[in-house]
Amino acid sequence: MMKIATIVGSIRKDSYNMKLAQYMQKRYENDVAFEIIPIHDLDHYDQDVEEDAPESIQAFKARLTDADAFLIVTPEFNHSIPGVLKNALDWLSRGEKEMEGKPTFIAGAATGALGTVRAQMHLRQILNAPGMGANVLPGNEILIGRVQHKIDEKGNLTDEATVEFIDGVIKQFIQFTQLQKERATL
Give tens-digit pLDDT for 107-139. 999 999 999 999 999 999 999 999 999 999 998
Per DSSP, the residues of 29-89 read TTTEEEEE---TTPPPP-GGGGGG--HHHHHHHHTTTT-SEEEEE---BTTB--HHHHHHH
How high is the pLDDT of residue 139? 87
Sequence-separated (6 or more) residues with CB below 8 Å from residue 83 = 77
Question: Could you tell me which of 75, 34, 18 has the C-alpha nearest to residue 170?
Answer: 34
Beta strands 69-73; 103-109: pairing state: parallel
Binned at pLDDT 50, 70 and 90, residue 142 comes out as very high
Give tens-digit pLDDT for 48-86. 999 999 999 999 999 999 999 999 999 999 999 999 999
How high is the pLDDT of residue 47? 94
Q: What is the dihedral of CA 186, 131, 3, 88, to 10 degrees?
A: 180
- Give me the mean pLDDT over the 149-166 stretch: 96
| Domains of the chain, each with CATH number or no CATH | 2-185 (3.40.50.360)
How high is the pLDDT of residue 141? 86
Per the CB < 8 A criterion, the answer to whether 157 and 23 are in contact is: yes
How high is the pLDDT of residue 182? 87
Sequence-separated (6 or more) residues with CB below 8 Å from residue 126 = 81, 86, 89, 132
Higher-confidence position of 119 and 141: 119
What does each C-alpha distance from 1 to 67, 69, 137, 174 come to in angstroms? 11, 11, 19, 11
Whole-number mean pLDDT of the chain? 95
